[in-house]
Each structure stands twice: as structure tokens, then as C-alpha cells.
Chain A
Amino acid sequence: QVQLVQSGAAVKKPGASVKVSCKASGYTFTAYYIHWVRQAPGQGLEWMGWINPNGGDTSYYAQNFQGRVTMTGDTSISTAYLELIGLRSDDTAVYFCARLNRGIYNYEYAFDIWGQGTMIIVSS
């Protein structure tokens, strides 16, 4: 069964950092980019960036997160990681990893497999 399983919820203080894991199974981990998307309580979806697990941790981050986010991968255990530093109260959200399926043509890109989400609460 193709799936992404994320680490559990965490409560962090402002200024702290958090590292969320996303373990892939049922497919070749290095064959698909992993993206990260977050969702604040009651809000919409915000894209954070991607990592190419087959590219020596080649990654790309949304401008909103540059300088605070690092996405990495460990191919030996088929796991991607999201690290966010300098946490603020507005970082309180559910963080999702998602597999990007490229389809046959460029316009067919879509997130076909999602992790279950990891709730991160930032509170003093």
C-alpha cells in the first residue's frame, strides 16, 4: 500500500524549532518529489516547498519560508523531513507532506498521496 506516515503532534514555545518526519512506503522513495503544505486552523492550504529525494537533497522553498525552513531526505529509510525554526504563534497549523505525481505531461502534476498530517502548536 502506497502511503506517507508522518510523526506525531508537538507543542512548541515561540522561538523554538520543530522537525516533522514523513516516511514513505509502497513505492520507490527516490522516484517522486515530496512537497510540504500547511493548514492553519480553519484556514486554507499553504504550499511550503519541495525536496527531490533523488537529488542530493535538492530543494526549493516558498519565499514566505526562506531562511526558516529546511527540507531534507534520508533515502536509507525512505523518509523526508521538514524543519522549521524561529517558530511563531502563526506557525500553528497542521503540516502535510505530499507526493507529487508528474503524470505523462507537465500539466498533469498533482499531489496524489498525502501524509495524515502533523499538528504543530506554538504557544508560550
Chain B
Amino acid sequence: DIQMTQSPSSLSASVGDRVTITCRASQGISNSLAWYQQKPGKAPNLLLYGASRLERGVPSRFSGSGSGTDYTLTISSLQPEDFAIYFCQQNYHTPLTFGGGTKVEIK
């Protein structure tokens, strides 16, 4: 199974901050990576797919990059509605696996 390791597991940031979340796969996944945002009591919401492609309707302050085993989600200027948990997921090989999540909290 491909293990997805996300870091940090939590972070505190202020509105307007630049935030970076990292996801490392236990083997290369050829950009088969998606990022999701989840708010309490809600289903996850797709932000990016193919490592860097922005889902329709998602604000452009979200961006993704990476290759091979290492991937990054960046929020360029954190907004109040961005405080949530973020998950990465690899779609390269079954079983599909998720990172453990990063909780973004208000500083």
C-alpha cells in the first residue's frame, strides 16, 4: 500500500498568512494526487487534482505543486473560510489512500 504522510498535522495561522502543507508518498505517484478541504460535520470538498489542477469554482489562492513522491498545497493568503482540515489523497494505485490530515486553526 502507498502511505501518504502529511505535515504538519496542525498549524495556527492568521488571516492573510501564506500557508503550506506537505504530502509525501511512500513511492512515486506520478502526480496522481488530489487535495480536499473538510469542515466540521461536512463531506470533503475537492480543491485540486492532478497535483496542480484547480477544481472549478475553487479560489485561485489555492495552488498545488510537486512531483514524484513530494507534493505541496499552498494557500497564498488565508481567509476566514479557509480554517478547516486538509487531506491529500493518492489515486495512483489501489488501495487509494489519504494523508492523515492537517488542521488549520486561527492564531
Interface residues of A (CB under 8 A from B): 35, 44-47, 60, 62-64, 96, 98, 101, 103, 105-112, 114-117
B94 in the interface (beta carbon within 8 A): yes
B-side contacts of A64, CB under 8 Å: 95
Q: Pick the contact of A45 from B31, B45, B87 — CB < 8 Å?
A: B87
Contact B49 A109 (CB under 8 A): yes
Minimal beta-carbon separation of A113 from chain B (angstroms): 8
Minimal beta-carbon separation of B88 from chain A (angstroms): 10
Contact A47 B98 (CB under 8 A): yes
A44, A60, A103, A115: most-surrounded residue (chain B CB, <10 A): A44
A-side contacts of B94, CB under 8 Å: 60, 62
B89 in the interface (beta carbon within 8 A): yes
Ranked nearest first, the 10 interchain pairs of A and B with the lowest CB-CB distance are A110-B49, A114-B43, A109-B91, A110-B34, A108-B50, A45-B98, A47-B96, A107-B32, A107-B31, A62-B95
Contact B46 A112 (CB under 8 A): yes
What is the total number of residues of chain B having a CB less than 8 Å from a CB of chain A? 28
Contact A45 B89 (CB under 8 A): yes
Minimal beta-carbon separation of A102 from chain B (angstroms): 9
Contact B44 A103 (CB under 8 A): no
Contact B49 A35 (CB under 8 A): no
Q: Pick the contact of B43 from A63, A109, A117 — CB < 8 Å?
A: A117
Contact B49 A116 (CB under 8 A): no
B25 in the interface (beta carbon within 8 A): no
Minimal beta-carbon separation of B67 from chain A (angstroms): 11
Minimal beta-carbon separation of A86 from chain B (angstroms): 20
Contact A107 B30 (CB under 8 A): yes
| Closest chain A residue, CB of each to CB of B49 | A110
Contact B32 A106 (CB under 8 A): yes
B3 in the interface (beta carbon within 8 A): no
B53 in the interface (beta carbon within 8 A): yes
Tell me the complex Cα distance, A105–B53, Å.
12
